[in-house]
Amino acid sequence: MGSHRELVPAIRKASAGSLVLGGVTPYVLETVHEVRSHVPHCGITLIAEQPGQVALVKVQESEMVSVISRGARLNQLIGTIRSMQARQQGLRGSERPADGSRPVADLLSQRERDVLRSTATGASVKEIAREFYLAPGTVRNLTSSAIKKLQARNRYDAARIAEELGSI
């Protein structure tokens, strides 16, 4: 693509749900803003040399953009893209996906939401088990199930995604 002015119509034409951009330059950051403004349903993943850069952190917070390290493995990149798609699906409310499956926000059971809500507060597995009168193994199983459903990296990532989706 020659410019972000060409990218936005191409995304619309293809009904793209995801966009992956490499590098962090003023052009890329401008492209992120332009795509988010004109195609808000399209999830964006940036591949960056240093994911902790201040500019990237600000973009992530304000633009619903995922950032992954250039050195990440392929399965990590795929997981990041899927997590972004899940968050984007959740932001579109409770509309049913085109494939007839349940909306992402509705995938979690009440127990899974309870466990993730407590996880978001920083509670340990043992503390959550005591709070809900469950065995620690049950808490781990519920957490593992939620991680898979939300395509998260770990229990804290699952809690964050569930919170962004409005599930907890």
Show the domain range for 139: 104-165
Task: Kindly state whether residues 73 and 117 are assigned to the same domain.
Answer: no
Amino acid at 53: Q
Task: Kindly state whether residues 23 and 76 are assigned to the same domain.
Answer: yes
DSSP secondary structure of 60-115: HHHHTEEEEETT--HHHHHHHHHHHHHHHHHHTTTPPPTTSPPPGGGSS-HHHHHH
Number of domains making up the chain: 2
Task: Kindly state whether residues 15 and 84 are assigned to the same domain.
Answer: yes
- How does DSSP classify residue 46? E
In whole angstroms, give the CA distance from residue 62 to residue 65. Answer: 8
What are residue 17's phi and psi, to 5 degrees? -95, -15
Task: Kindly state whether residues 49 and 109 are assigned to the same domain.
Answer: no
Q: Is residue 98 part of a domain?
A: no
Q: Token pair for residue 85? A: 């798609």
What pLDDT band is residue 129 in, cutting at 50, 70 and 90?
very high
Which residue is associated with the tokens 């043992």? Answer: 126
Check which CATH number belongs to the domain holding 137 and give it. Answer: 1.10.10.10
Please state the rounded mean pLDDT for residues 54-66.
63
Task: Kindly state whether residues 48 and 16 are assigned to the same domain.
Answer: yes
Task: Kindly state whether residues 59 and 111 are assigned to the same domain.
Answer: no
Sign of CA dihedral 159, 162, 166, 168: negative
Domain termination residue (choose one: 91, 112, 138): 91
Q: What is the pLDDT of residue 24?
A: 75
Domain termination residue (choose one: 60, 91, 122): 91
Domain termination residue (choose one: 41, 59, 91): 91
pLDDT above 70 for 108: yes
- pTM for the model stands at 0.50
pLDDT tens profile 65-91: 777 888 888 887 887 787 777 766 665
In whole angstroms, give the CA distance from residue 137 to residue 147. Answer: 15
Pairing mode, strands 43-48 and 65-69: parallel
